[in-house]
Amino acid sequence: MIQLKEIHSKKEMKQFVLFPFSLYKNNKFWVPPIINDEIANFDKTKNPVFENADARFFLALKNNAIVGRVIAIINRYEVAQQGIKKMRFGWFDVIDDIEVTKILLDKVKEIALENNLEYIEGPVGFNNLDKTGVLIEGFDEIGTMITWYNHPYYKEHLEQLGFRKEKEYLENKFLYKDIKIERHVKAGRILKKRYNLTALNFTKTKDIMPYVDEMFELFSKTYSKLSTYVPISDAQIQHFKKKYISFINPEYIKFVIDEHQKLVAFAIVMPSFSRALQKAKGKLFPFGIFHLLNARKNSKDVTFYLIGVDPAYQNKGVTAIIFEEFHKTFGEKGIENCIRTPELEDNLAIHQLWSQFNPRTHKRRRTYRLDL
């Protein structure tokens, strides 16, 4: 018999976080989180996302063993301010038993109906900075620290229960050597002169911090028209700044400013921490931190995390300036592979931007919807 258990205690939360470690044990493509960071992410006293979101955590048990988990999420801003009557579910993991999936998602459905919501979508996180989507292709490709990995049967479970494709995301990668920098150098020179633009490079994290708030303002301008967009609060920005910016190589953050020192474009790239996180096995100490620091310094793979351009400068080729700067940095670091985060299949502008680099789609992921 399958039992559903809502969790509240710290002990139960640790069990919730640890379940994927057993589900994906010995899977060479799954990338584990840092356990304490994941627990803190779900702590309503530490993560400001809970200022605008309600979340309930559930475990499924069979013969007293954990066999599944899910978070039922309501983003109150999305529902009340944007009028999107959506019930989210995320951090969904389950054994290959359709009945386990059913009991977990039936609970999500129950909560949605109690709150007069119109449909369920998932797996998704709390907002745009979280992980999203069920992996449907690319199971033999290593994951990243900013995406979920899952077994192939997740897709079949959801579709058997009446869920249908809502959004599809592509993950692409390309080789550093395929960046044809000559055209970017030429275009960059023209654009800098025409629009009085300047590229900013950094070697110290403290020099980046004064620009971070403005960067998120530009992030909002860039992505506000996408169907997945939900605003990021000031508190969440400060949380992100404290948690992540200091851990990203300052050389991997590029800005473009105009003659008035106003930010018009930015890009954040991260070293790949995938292998380091696998070696760390969920723990920073005693040795995990050294694996991460080594990857930060020596990884030959990088992940393009965020890129944004002011709408006034979109379609003007300003990204050529950014790519030129990254090309210099990547050459110095000996970078080999450039990996992109999931991008909406119907975001034609972003696909056009990357098309010149001979990208290869190595993964696809999808969110699923159930109308109520």
Q: How far, rounded to the nearest angstrom, does the alpha carbon of residue 24 sit from its chain's CA centroid?
A: 20
Q: Give tens-digit pLDDT for 302-355.
A: 999 989 999 999 889 999 999 999 999 999 999 999 999 999 999 888 888 888
Residue type, 96: D
**CA torsion 191→197→202→205, rounded to 10°?**
-130
User: Which positions ≥6 away from 33 have C-beta within 8 Å?
Assistant: 17, 145, 277, 282
Please state, in angstroms and rounded to a whole number, the distance separating the CA atoms of residues 223 and 128: 9
Which CA distances in Å does 170 have to 76, 107, 227, 274, 308? Answer: 28, 30, 16, 19, 18
Please state, in angstroms and rounded to a whole number, the distance separating the CA atoms of residues 299 and 334: 9
Taken in order of first residue, the domains within the chain and their CATH numbers are: 2-171 (3.40.630.30), 174-364 (3.40.630.30)
CB neighbour class for 33 (10 Å; exposed up to 12, middle 13-18, buried from 19): middle
Q: Tens place of pLDDT for every residue, the chain, 372 residues?
A: 899 999 999 999 999 999 999 999 999 999 999 999 999 999 999 999 999 999 999 999 999 999 999 999 999 999 998 999 999 999 999 999 999 999 999 999 999 999 999 999 999 999 877 999 999 999 999 999 999 999 999 999 999 999 999 999 999 999 998 888 888 889 889 999 999 999 999 999 999 988 989 998 998 888 877 767 788 788 888 888 777 787 789 999 999 999 999 999 999 999 999 999 999 999 999 999 999 999 999 999 999 998 999 999 988 999 999 999 999 999 999 999 999 999 999 988 888 888 888 999 999 999 999 999
- How much is the pTM? 0.94
Residues 127 and 88: beta-carbon distance below 8 Å: no
